[in-house]
Amino acid sequence: MTGTTKNDVLGRLLARLEALEEENRAIRAELAALKPAPAAGPSREGQALSRRRALLTLGGAVAGAAALGRGLADPGAARAGTDGDLALGRSTNTASAPTGLGVTGATSDYGIGVTDNGLNQYPSVTRAALFGHAGFDNFGAGVLGYSNAGGIGVEGVSEAGAVPAAAGVYGLGSPGVRGLNVSGGAGIEGKGEPGVSGTAFDPSGVGVRGSVQGTDNPGTVPASGTGIVAEAVDGGGGPPTVDSVALLATNAGKGTGVKATSDSGIPLLAQVTNTKSKQPAVRGIGAKGRGGEFSGATAQIRLLPAGTLPASGQTGDLFVDSSGGLHYCKAGGSTATWVKLA
């Protein structure tokens, strides 16, 4: 018998590599078969779902691969690089064209999902093309959109006229949606009808909250911004009309439409910025009750002195001159009739 030649060794190595490749293909096929069980049907936004969803295999698939692959030679990482297969555990995957995934059928809970150390069940929420799970082990946010060049961190679009109507961005939780402003931009900006909508399912909850917080890095910097900005502005079609409303607060019951509180400042400040405008800064209209009601331990209301008595006025005006005299306009006009009360 002749000795073993190099060709014999190479032949056995090639045969072994072919066997390993066949086993690798079998493992991939088994992993591809691991997917969530069919759901009862598509969920609707905001509905409380009673059915339990199938097990997520995002963490289980990796464990299964480890079990199936014991004793096998390392087949090497999946192809990575420009226009290559995405390689798990590699943060430098690149491509020169978009990468898409088309999910067929109507039973999938999610298209692509990432879990934080595994998740036994898909939550009873809307099915999602992208699903992110934060367990506060690795991740503090399920989905984060970030822009450092003037772009939009997260943009949600619901096609106008879609049936049923849906929100571009829908948040469920406490808070449902959180916007963080770190560089002078908007924490949350909404365009549409409505631009931003907040609903609290808890009867004592908060629909929309805007907060400005101070910081102690570096040094103590107290808050000086604005919690919520409501604007009716000229978008190119001219100044807003008399029917425009920057902030609308409605209470359909016996509660309060707007409540403003302050620890040591002014709870509510209204100011007409156009110096040529004679519109009132605050107007109160009572359908059957009083237009305004005031209480205070020091005084119920204060009229600040404002120079000399004007010639013109409107019937019902009260005016305090610089000497403290209180005058009442009995007949309005360019030459009004004023009656001094005190």
Position 83 scores a pLDDT of 66
Average pLDDT estimate for 228-257: 92
Mean of the pLDDT values across residues 220-232?
Answer: 87
Under 8 Å between Cβ of 180 and 145: no
**Predicted TM-score (pTM) of this structure:** 0.57
What is the per-residue pLDDT for 192? 75
pLDDT tens per residue, range 55-68: 343 443 333 333 33
Stretch 86-107: mean pLDDT: 87
Which tops the pLDDT comparison, 37 or 113? 113
d(CA 15, CA 19): 6
The residue among 131 and 183 whose pLDDT is bigger is 131
Mean pLDDT value across residues 19-32: 74
Does residue 239 register a pLDDT over 70?
yes
- pLDDT at position 215 is 82
Mean pLDDT score, 317-341: 97
Statement: residue 36 has pLDDT above 70: no
Q: Which of the residue ranges 22-26, 30-34, 46-50, 212-216 would you say has the lowest mean pLDDT?
A: 46-50
Q: Is residue 73 pLDDT above 60, yes or no?
A: no
pLDDT of residue 183: 66
